[in-house]
Structure 1
């Protein structure tokens, strides 16, 4: 069973600007707020250069002491990028086996619709927590997309 999650927001900037702004902006500035049990990102370790080359990896460190290994798996500039998250450690480990994430950017009106998606593969025990996890993620994603808009409009 895979849980599909998706959240979108339209921002008044061109698609290429939105793409670069989301992919290359420091994660702790976009994911700086907690949503219930979903912690902010405190730091990123091991990233070499801007986040834009397939195969790049980095370790995401969350405020609750957890870590996630992220690998960039696809880049179709300026319309989409995908990544996988594995080696989940810390408080999310009992719930989540793996995450496949995507960002997509499509023209809408005079701006761009940015969509962030996660396909979450829960652990056997985590399956029972997925409805609550989904509610938290949607709030976390809404906050992150608000931060993205703020960053892009600076």
Structure 2
């Protein structure tokens, strides 16, 4: 397994979005963790969408698997699932960008948290950018609102997929 990209001393740029769903946390997580990337990560100008995934090394259900998301502009990134807590959260890191992000960031730590919220779920998604030297101001300034817009659109589509697959409500699972 790769060492973690971001450490306590790093000054990062953090962008977080969240959305609620009427679905239970368990069902939301079950659908969200292995979600089909091209279905939810579509282009939002100026960013490309995900067109596919190559080289996945295992099921996306534990720390360790790797894959290469492919973008519709011909670029790609290396992704590794670094943390996985069933029904609760998962984190991943992205490195080796072949697009403009290769000139701005050494990499990204992404994290999804799925939390109970009344009768439903609050999904919180965070992107933490480790800026290259002298580039933090770009990520924190003009880049951030554009990336936040991309994240909001993708999370909206994630919630749509979750609610479509569950009928928008909790499925019975018994205690737990």
Does TM, scored on the shorter chain, surpass 0.5?
Answer: yes
TM-score (norm 1): 0.93
CA contact (8 A) 1:66 1:91 kept: no
TM-score (norm 2): 0.82
Q: Following superposition of structure 1 onto structure 2, how do residues 89-100 of structure 1 map, counting pairs within 5 Å?
A: 89-100=98-109
CA distance in 1, matches of 2:90, 2:35: 14
CA distance in 1, matches of 2:50, 2:142: 20
Q: 5+ residue gaps in structure 1?
A: none
1:56 counterpart residue number = 65
- Find runs of 4+ consecutive structure 1 residues off by over 4 angstroms: none
Q: 5+ residue gaps in structure 2?
A: 1-10, 165-176
CA contact (8 A) 2:58 2:66 kept: no
CA drift at 1:49: 4.4
RMSD in angstroms over aligned alpha carbons? 1.3
CA distance in 2, matches of 1:120, 1:27: 20
Aligned length: 153
Q: Does 1:31 align with 2:41?
A: yes
1:18 counterpart residue number = 28
CA drift at 1:125: 4.7
> Larger radius of gyration, structure 1 or 2?
2
> Which has the higher mean CA deviation after the structures are superposed, 129-138 or 75-84?
129-138
Q: Does 1:120 align with 2:129?
A: yes
CA distance in 2, matches of 1:60, 1:96: 17
CA drift at 1:66: 1.7
String of CA shifts for 1:30-56, please: whole Å, max 9, x gaps. Answer: 112x22222111111111443112100
Q: Does 1:153 align with 2:166?
A: no
CA distance in 1, matches of 2:134, 2:71: 22
1:102 counterpart residue number = 111
1:73 counterpart residue number = 82
String of CA shifts for 1:79-130, please: whole Å, max 9, x gaps. Answer: 1101111111122211121101100000002110001101101122532321
SS in 1 for 2:144: helix
CA distance in 2, matches of 1:67, 1:21: 24
